[in-house]
Amino acid sequence: MKDAIAQIIGPVNPPPGVSNYGLAFSGPGITNFISNIIKLLIVIAGIYAVINLILAGLSFMGAGGDPQKVANARSKIWQTLIGLVISVGALVLAAIFGLILFGDAFFFLSLRVYGPT
């Protein structure tokens, strides 16, 4: 089951520019690429959620008793919290896919980020 993807699509060769990166791993480069994309999107979602919660809190405090502004601020807070739940759900799905396809729940969620050497 660990080589299910390789059996289906065959080997995936890394792009030519990847040789400039210090890659101390043994495995296909596509999984590291997917892992880095997932982590980047989760970080961006977290930063956006914090900024959105701060702005919603400020508009909630500055509503001055106006029911429409209070409702808009509460709506923005709920939408941000739902977005965070979706982001965490993406991590859970990545762990499930890693467990099913490779037998390791943290296959896509490894904490290695590679850069140029």
pLDDT tens digits along 40-90? 888 898 999 999 999 999 999 999 889 999 999 999 999 999 999 998 898
pTM of the shown model: 0.61
Q: pLDDT, tens digit, for every residue of 66-80?
A: 999 999 999 999 999
The residues, any chain, with a CB within 8 Å of residue 97's CB and separated by 6 or more, are 108
Whether residue 71 lies inside any domain: the answer is yes
Whether residue 33 lies inside any domain: the answer is no
Whether residue 116 lies inside any domain: the answer is no
Measure the N-to-C terminal CA separation of the chain; round to a whole number of Å: 34
Integer Cα distance of 107 and 97 in angstroms:
9
Give long-range contacts, CB 8 A cutoff, 24+ apart: 106-109: 107/31, 107/35, 108/31, 108/34, 108/35, 108/38, 109/35, 109/38, 109/39
Report the number of distinct structural domains present in the chain.
1
Whether residue 85 lies inside any domain: the answer is yes
Could you tell me the residue range of the domain that residue 68 belongs to?
42-107
Whether residue 37 lies inside any domain: the answer is no
